[in-house]
Chain A
Amino acid sequence: MSPIRSILSIVLISAWSSASAETMKFEDAAGILGASCAKEIETNCRGVSLDPARLKDCLLRNQDSLSAQCRTDYVRAFDAIQKRLAARSAVAKICERDAVKLCGGIPKEGGQALECILTAARGVSARCNQAIGEAGYR
């Protein structure tokens, strides 16, 4: 394999795997924030509960007094929560056709169509499957 070809295949593989990676569980994302920034939140953000907008704002305002760990991790944690939320709302849209075809309904808030897709043995489109994987529903 020529070097250009192998580089290209590495790039393609890594792009594919990052695109289909499961987003982080809320438990893990929130856990990272709580563990890495406990001291900083206690010292600088007294009275602020688990409210992303207010917490982010407070940590940003106190950026200079944060430990390096907290500075990296709070951005990573909020970002992970955001990514999982986006992945979950994308499922309804991406799997709409599958839900109509396989389950006779659209994936609404109630989750029945989603449960139906998850239990469908075959016939689920690759895109819908990927969206479900990214959202962490499996």
Chain B
Amino acid sequence: MRLGKQSRLGMGLFIVLLIGAMAPSSSARAQASATPEDWVKQLAGLDAAPDIEVAALRQQVLERVKSKADGVTLQRPPVATQLLKLPRFAVEIKFDEDSAVIRPESYRTLGRIADTLYDPALLAYKFLIVGHTVAAGRRESNLTLSQKRADAIRGALVTAFKISPKRLQGIGLGEEQLLDAAHPTAPINQQFEVATVGKAF
């Protein structure tokens, strides 16, 4: 049976669309190809030690969530603008649903973060693991979950790869500092950030 010109065109279009759908999004592609060397470059260049008190920052975020301030997601300003100035990179790490258990498909990424933090150029520095969630569900639960997940990443880096605990802190920002504020439920908002916060030694 011979296909008509139109159906061949349709088939061609279908194949193009299928390939498009199968290709990972540009951000996922960028991450898959990011090497520890890329991340080392992104984490370098902290000018002066910024004044970041992680405990105080946690309190500040919690207070905003509890007071129900900035209720409209699309108009919510970032809660910790001081973090936006830090050298940092974002990374996708997969967890079991509503839990702080890291999924095996993300073990490789965790190893890559460890390789990065062991780079001689970064050994003198300390870092903040910043957890985020999409803006869906309860703000308070999102805050708690992102804190637990940031702590789980820190825990894995310390126990599995023996990164000094002095060099790592975790903070959860829930949906209070969306990575893509224009699209509050976009999956990119579930990514984590690793940021250089100062000298450890």
Task: Pick from B25-33, B74-82, B106-114, B139-147 the stretch touching chain A.
Answer: B106-114
For residue A53, CB closer than 8 A to chain B, the reply is yes
Number of A positions contacting B (CB below 8 A): 34
Contact of B152 among A42, A49, A88, A112 (CB under 8 A): A49
Cα of A37 to Cα of B107 in the assembled complex, Å: 11
Proximity string of chain B (138-164) to chain A, C-beta cutoff 8 Å, 1 when within and 0 when not? 000000000000001001100111101
CB distance from A21 to the nearest CB of B (A): 17
Smallest CB-CB separation from A109: which chain B residue?
A: B201
In the complex, number of A-B residue pairs with CB atoms less than 8 Å apart: 94
Contact of A26 among B100, B115, B120, B155 (CB under 8 A): B115
Number of B positions contacting A (CB below 8 A): 34
Cα of A138 to Cα of B160 in the assembled complex, Å: 22
Q: Are B108 and A30 in touch, CB under 8 angstroms? A: yes
Smallest CB-CB separation from A55: which chain B residue?
A: B160
Cα of A109 to Cα of B112 in the assembled complex, Å: 20
Cα of A46 to Cα of B99 in the assembled complex, Å: 11
**Which residues on B sit within 8 Å (CB–CB) of A88?**
118
For residue B102, CB closer than 8 A to chain A, the reply is yes
Interface centre among A50, A112, A114, A137 (most CB of B within 10 A): A50
Q: Hey, which bits of chain A sit against chain B, CB under 8 A? A: 25-31, 33-35, 37-38, 41-42, 46-53, 81, 85, 88, 108-112, 114-115, 118, 137
